[in-house]
Homo-oligomer: A and B are copies of this chain.
Amino acid sequence: MSSYGLEIISREQCYALIGTQRVGRVAVVSGHPGVFPVLYALLDEDVVFRTAPGTKLVAAALNRDVVFEVDSFDVVKHTGWSVNVFGQAEEIVAPDEVARVESLGLESWAGEVRDRVVRIRAVDVSGRRVVGDAATNH
Contacts and interface: CB of A to CB of B under 8 A. Distances in A.
Interface of A: 1-2, 4-6, 22-23, 25, 27-30, 33-37, 39, 55, 65, 67, 69, 71, 73, 75, 78, 80, 82, 84, 86, 107, 109-113, 130, 132
Contact of A34 (B37, B67, B78): B67
Contact of A112 (B5, B23, B30, B67): B5
A26 to B, nearest CB: 9
Given A6-B55, A22-B75, A34 B113 contact: no
A102 B129 CA distance: 25
Most-contacted residue by chain B among A2, A75, A86, A109 (CB, 10 A): A109
Contacts of A67: 27, 33-35
Given A4-B112, A5-B110, A23-B75, 8 more contacts: A6-B55, A23-B73, A27-B27, A27-B29, A33-B65, A33-B67, A36-B82, A37-B71
